[in-house]
Amino acid sequence: MKNSLNKTEKKTQEYFESCGYKIFKVPEQRKKTPDFENDEILVEVKEVSPLEVGGLQNDSTYNAIKNNLQNSANKFRDYDFKHFKKHFVIIFSNDITKDDIFSVWTGSFSPNNPQKILSSGMLLSNEHKQHIDGVVWFKKLSDLVPKFVWATDKNNSIKCFFPSLFFSSSSLF
């Protein structure tokens, strides 16, 4: 029986295939699983809606991003504990900006304005960060390529998965 894909999963699969990487839907299991995998990568797809609630502060945008990244990190940890593959979170959201994701990751407003705006309770923990190699943001489903990619590895080994961004203008954590 083949798992059906939702629209963001289908778009994610199409994107990776356009870059030469076939990814396959991971069958649902009792333990937490990411959405896709191949020999090199694991991919978790999220639609982020700031109306999501829950968290230490009353800012639904940051809470939605943090909760989705934490959930993704937990799936990667449970599925690939020894981190043999690259772990990517693909975010689809027209309601957030790249600086919102950056803020949850670093606590700063933006790379251009390093002032701290978020308390540690609003940030993604280092424990969760260690299970995410890249966060990829598509603003709209119609985007042909991501609007932004953040990479955690300092040797840039994920560039091959996002050629259109890394060979134009992109940012690394």
What's 133's DSSP letter? Answer: S
Q: CA 153, CA 157: separation in Å to the nearest integer? A: 7
Question: Which of 16-30, 43-57, 95-109 has the highest average model confidence (pLDDT)?
Answer: 16-30
Chain segment 120-164, per-residue pLDDT in tens? 777 888 999 999 999 999 999 999 999 998 887 666 778 888 887
Chain segment 59-107, per-residue pLDDT in tens? 688 889 999 999 999 999 999 999 999 999 999 999 998 989 989 988 8
Q: CA 114, CA 98: separation in Å to the nearest integer? A: 14
Q: Residue 171: is its pLDDT beyond 60? A: no
pTM: 0.87
Which candidate, 64, 69, 71, 67, places its Cα nearest to that of 50? 64
Please give the pLDDT value at position 55: 45
Mention every residue, 6+ apart, whose C-beta is less than 8 A from residue 25.
2, 3, 5, 9, 13, 35, 36
Please give the pLDDT value at position 88: 97
- Residue 41, classified by CB atoms within 10 Å of its CB into exposed (0-12), middle (13-18) or buried (19+), is buried
